[in-house]
Structure 1
Amino acid sequence: MMIVSRAFSLFFRFSEFVCAAVVLGIMAHFLNDYDKTHVGPLSREIYTTVIASLSVLFSVIWMIPTTHQFLHYPIDLFLSAAWFAAFGVLVNWIGRFNCGGAWYWGGIRRWNSYCGQWRAAEAFSFIGACFWFASFLLGVYVYHKLRQPMTLDGTRSRRRWHRSGV
């Protein structure tokens, strides 16, 4: 059980890192363009850049296998909510351009277009939020599973609510 949960945790952390790095790169490109032209949603770009930077940092640190790697689930929930908020502000801004509806993904293949880059940032922010939430759920499950007392034969015991633990 523990090996499988650690493998899932490592997969989730690596996926969180990849999504955050992609969004960080795209937002850095937009911030560079803003520095030159002063056109674009600066506050949204800064917010998404900060969330992506924190996600890169935490996902790299938490990829290191430790004894307490599943105790970070409250921060996983916070970062998941922050990523969903970043996705929301990105979707809200794309509606102001002539890029189609919020769920139109036809122009994402043209990488040199503004709309394609913005939609890629949207997509990876949503996927990253889902990975952070999955990591939160795994952390909650493993943490509460490990809090059950161990019996002498190595299995987890389940006490009834009316019996004493003494």
Structure 2
Amino acid sequence: MMITRIISPILRFGEFVCATIVLGLIGYFLHERNETGFGPKGREIYTIVIAALSTLLSILWMVPLTTRLLLYPIDFILSFAWFSSFGALNNYTSDLGCGGWMDWTGITRGDQCGKWKATQAFSFIGACFWLASAILGIFMFHKRRSGTDATNGTTKTGGRRGLFGRRSQV
């Protein structure tokens, strides 16, 4: 399907945007922690590692290659990593007295709670982008494996040729 060729880069761009925003905010929090000695160091390090890895992989995977269909397990793993980062950030913001995970009041004021809530929100949105990419990858992979041409939905003639469209040399 042609629409998947449009959706995939949009999802990858969304992953990139969310990861870079979280990367910048967590970098700011690590700088603050270095200055004041206050903050959740373990959660920040975990989140910045996930954000840096996501930034790199989303850039690399924006390149349209057939082999990226095989990457959906990594998309799932990163989605779960982002959801766990969201949970860790949510736990910390609750301990700060910033309210529950659905309490978005004060996010635009620019105070510490607002910055943590923004980080938390982009972690969740990024996790959703990675999950959507994984689901799209599964859909495309199984369409391709079933012998249906993913670009126009028609069945290939000439038999099943495998994942990369070549005939076996055996």
Where structure 2 has 5 or more consecutive residues not aligned to the other structure, the ranges are 157-170
Q: Paired residue for 2:123? A: 125
Per the alignment, residue 17 of structure 2 pairs with 18
Secondary structure of the 1:68 match is helix
Cα deviation, residue 150, structure 1: 5.6
Alpha carbons of structure 1 residues 24 and 138: separation in structure 2 relative to 1, 3 Å: same
Counterpart CA distance in 1 for 2:12 and 2:81 is: 16
Which amino acid is 2:74 matched to? Answer: I
Please report how far the alpha carbon of residue 99 of structure 1 lies from its aligned counterpart in structure 2 after TM superposition.
Answer: 1.8
**1: CA distance, partners of 2:108 / 2:147:** 53
Distance 1:43 1:101 in 2: 21
Give aligned pairs, total: 153
In the TM superposition, residue 155 of structure 1 has moved relative to its aligned partner by 2.6
Q: Output one character per residue of 1:52-90: Cα deviation in whole Å (capped at 9) or x when no partner.
A: 000000000000111212211000000000000000000
Q: Give, in angstroms, the shift of residue 101 of structure 1.
A: 2.7
Q: Does 1:38 align with 2:40?
A: no
Identity %: 51
For 1:102-141, list aligned pairs within 5 A. 102-111=101-110, 113-141=111-139
Matches within 5 A, 1:48-127: 48-111=47-110, 113-127=111-125
Are the counterparts in 1 of residues 90 and 100 from structure 2 also a CA contact under 8 Å?
Answer: no
Which TM-score applies when normalising by structure 1? 0.88
- Tell me, which stretches of 5 or more residues in structure 1 are unaligned? 158-166
3-state secondary structure, aligned to 2:99: coil
Equivalent residues of 2:89, 2:116 under 8 A apart:
yes
CA RMSD of aligned residues (A): 1.5
Report the counterpart of residue 164 of structure 1 in structure 2: none
Equivalent residues in 2 for 1:140-155 (5 A)? 140-149=138-147, 155=154
Match in the other structure for 1:156: 155
Cα deviation digits, residues 20-78 of structure 1 (max 9, x gap): 00000000000000111110000000000000000000000000111212211000000
Deviation per CA, 1:6-31, whole angstroms, max 9, x where unpaired? 11100000000000000000000000
Distance 2:143 2:40 in 1: 44
Q: Secondary structure at the match of 2:95?
A: coil
Q: Which amino acid aligns with 2:18?
A: C
TM-score (norm 2): 0.86
Q: Which amino acid aligns with 1:143?
A: F
